[in-house]
């Protein structure tokens, strides 16, 4: 799974296509299975995705000072290779699962 995500994240367009496809499927599931409006599903998904992105960003980051490859004129604490495309795909996968769980819990909470 990790190698597939790395391969897909090699291109900006393939990354965007995968993110759009997974997001569309997740929103379609909550709209069709839980009788949520499309606008509500998209809004909830957007909020969940952004919150999870900030949780996923620090994973696997090595600073320039840790790796010993400090670029002149840059902050030594700056990441060497942040792998943002891979993290966007991981965030999309996790956010899709969280979205379905959150919307499934709504009726139990009386919402």
Name beta bridge partners: 79. 63
For residue 98, name the pLDDT band (cuts at 50, 70, 90).
very high
pLDDT, position 102: 94
Cα gap 85→104, rounded to integer Å? 29
Structure-block tokens of residue 111: 């919402």
Query: Residue 7 is part of which domain span?
Result: 2-109
**Residue 86 near residue 3 (C-beta atoms within 8 A):** no
The total number of structural domains in the chain stands at 1
pLDDT, position 69: 81
For residue 47, name the pLDDT band (cuts at 50, 70, 90).
very high
pLDDT, position 111: 66
CA angle in degrees (0–180, nearest 5) for 92-98-103: 125
Which of 89, 103, 93 minimizes the C-alpha distance to 34?
103
Mean pLDDT lowest among 3-7, 49-53, 83-87, 102-106: 3-7
Cα gap 102→96, rounded to integer Å? 10
Asked if the model's pLDDT at residue 12 lies above 90, the reply is yes
**What residues have CB less than 8 Å from 29, skipping those under 6 apart?**
100
Tens digit of each residue's pLDDT (9 = 90 or more) over 55-80 = 999 998 888 888 888 888 888 888 88
For residue 3, name the pLDDT band (cuts at 50, 70, 90).
confident
Mean pLDDT of 4-9: 86
Which of 31, 26, 18, 72 minimizes the C-alpha distance to 48?
26
């Amino acid at each position: 799974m990790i190698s597939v995500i790395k391969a897909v994240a090699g291109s900006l367009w393939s990354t965007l296509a995968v993110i759009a496809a997974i997001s569309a499927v997740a929103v379609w599931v909550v709209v069709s299975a839980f009788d949520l409006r499309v606008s509500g599903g998209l809004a909830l998904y957007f909020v969940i995705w952004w919150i999870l992105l900030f949780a996923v960003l620090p994973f696997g980051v090595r600073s320039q000072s840790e790796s010993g490859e400090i670029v002149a004129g840059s902050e030594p604490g700056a990441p060497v290779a942040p792998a943002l495309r891979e993290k966007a795909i991981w965030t999309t996968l996790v956010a899709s699962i969280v979205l379905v769980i959150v919307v499934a819990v709504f009726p139990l909470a009386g919402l």
